Amino acid sequence: MTVLLTHREGELGAVGPFPVERPRWHEVGPVTEHLAELLGVATVVLRLLDVHGGGGGLGGLAVYHAEALDEPADGAGLRPLTEEERESLAPHPLRAGYATAEGVRAALDWAGRALAAAGRPVTGPVAQVKTWNLAGLFRLPTATGPVWLKTGRDFAVDEAAVIALFGAVDPRLVPPVLAADPERRLLLLDHVPGEDCWGPSAEVVADAVPRLVRAQAALAASYPGGIPAGLPDRSHAALLPAVKALLDGPPAAELTAGELARARAMSDALPQLVERLAACGLPPVVLHGDFHPGNWRSTGTAAVLVDFADACQGHPALDGLRPRDFCSEERWAQAAAAWCEAWRTVVPGSDPELALRLAAPFAHLGYAVRYQEFLDAIEPSEHRYHAGDPAAEIRAALTAFEAL
């Protein structure tokens, strides 16, 4: 990979290409570790500039922009930037605050002050773990264990507020929030033991899925109309005009004429599907919004949910269906059965099995709309993270709809 390096907005030069083992483009810990060895100073990767080759978020020759937190010594092996490289560092109105030198320094300063005020001052070097078009993640050491700083985008919800909602009905379901700056989408979370549950065990599924359902049902019973104010409305009824707009927007160019015609016919039939879903008897709820097992942490049994950036209000099947694409067939069958049994228990007389089946096209269309929202709100160099996703979700929705 190649890294273009600056220090307090001043150009230092470029280093690379050099090899680094990193699973995905946004997992930048190995990049900063290599730069520290090479340059003798701490750095923070601000953003991905380009990738030659690779795809799907991994592989290829990546080019990053990094900020040196201190100025490297002379003779650090940096070469002058080319004119093209220099142009790639130009400001952009859609750039995330944490993808700028000023913004990332401000976020780290805020985290340090917040932890000091909480009696848990930072005790060592901060480690950058991830950064990409939606968020950044840093690990801050303290005397009583690590703390996590998450930097987010203004199109994400106030995660601390949503965590507080779920924490009010199940405190063990969410991570402890140490501090938050909602305006700048900064969040400090205490460490949650365990691992992210990619490939979850039967025990974890049996815990996470029913607990989410019970928490959602408890919240729905706590608010007039079932939903607290301020959350984006991603109900199926609210989705209908967004889908029509999507089919008149950029994804249409990526669909064949036949696919687009089928998608428009599906869109016309969605109001009747909304009515059938409503008849299943499940209430509108506060949704996690991205309830896949990678956003569950566990030591083996009890799970803690993380990453509430896409939280919203809507039909509970949106969360119920999310694990499907991230689990084995056996674990998905278990998750679906556990979800249905939990909803039958908290809403007697409901039909969660039918709701899960009828909601499948809406789940894909909801993510198609959300991915397009991302693309509309990020700078062009970041489009590679979600290019093609809206059209792919529309195709998946067609498959689900035509199977009903």
Give yes or no: residues 146 and 132 share one domain.
Answer: yes
Q: What is the mean pLDDT of residues 63-89?
A: 89
Q: What is the mean pLDDT of residues 299-307?
A: 93
CB 133 within 8 A of CB 382: yes
Report angle CA 388, 391, 396 to the nearest 5 degrees. 120
Distance CA 312, CA 254 (A): 28
Of 117-131, 166-180, 213-227, give the lowest mean pLDDT range. Answer: 213-227
Q: How are strands ordered across the β-sheet holding 147-152?
A: 127-131, 135-140, 147-152, 186-190, 177-181
Q: How are strands ordered across the β-sheet holding 61-68?
A: 10-15, 2-7, 61-68, 43-52
Give yes or no: residues 267 and 301 share one domain.
Answer: yes
Write b or e for each residue in 170-205: b if 16 or more Cβ atoms lie within 10 A of its Cβ, otherwise e. Answer: eeebbbebbbbbeebbbbbbebbebebbeebeeebb
Residue 159 pLDDT exceeds 80:
yes
Give yes or no: residues 179 and 212 share one domain.
Answer: no
Distance CA 77, CA 85 (A): 17
Give yes or no: residues 134 and 164 share one domain.
Answer: yes
All residues at 6 or more sequence positions from 29 whose CB lies less than 8 Å from its CB, including other chains: 22, 127, 128, 129, 130
Give yes or no: residues 214 and 344 share one domain.
Answer: yes
Burial label for 229, CB within 10 Å (0-12, 13-18, 19+), is exposed
Q: How far is CA 82 from the centre of its chain?
A: 34
Domain CATH number, residue 176:
3.30.200.20
Range of the domain at 334: 196-402
Give yes or no: residues 231 and 309 share one domain.
Answer: yes
Q: Which of 132, 157, 190 is the last residue of a domain?
A: 190
Q: What is the pLDDT of residue 224?
A: 65
> Per-residue pLDDT tens for 230-282?
789 999 999 999 999 999 999 999 999 999 999 999 999 999 999 999 999 99
CB 62 within 8 A of CB 50: yes
Q: What is the mean pLDDT of residues 163-183?
A: 96
> Per-residue pLDDT tens for 38-54?
889 999 999 999 998 87
Give yes or no: residues 46 and 129 share one domain.
Answer: no
Q: Which of 90, 117, 150 is the last residue of a domain?
A: 90
Q: Which of 190, 224, 254 is the last residue of a domain?
A: 190
Our count of domains for the chain comes to 3
Query: In this prediction, what percent of the chain has a pLDDT beyond 90?
Result: 87
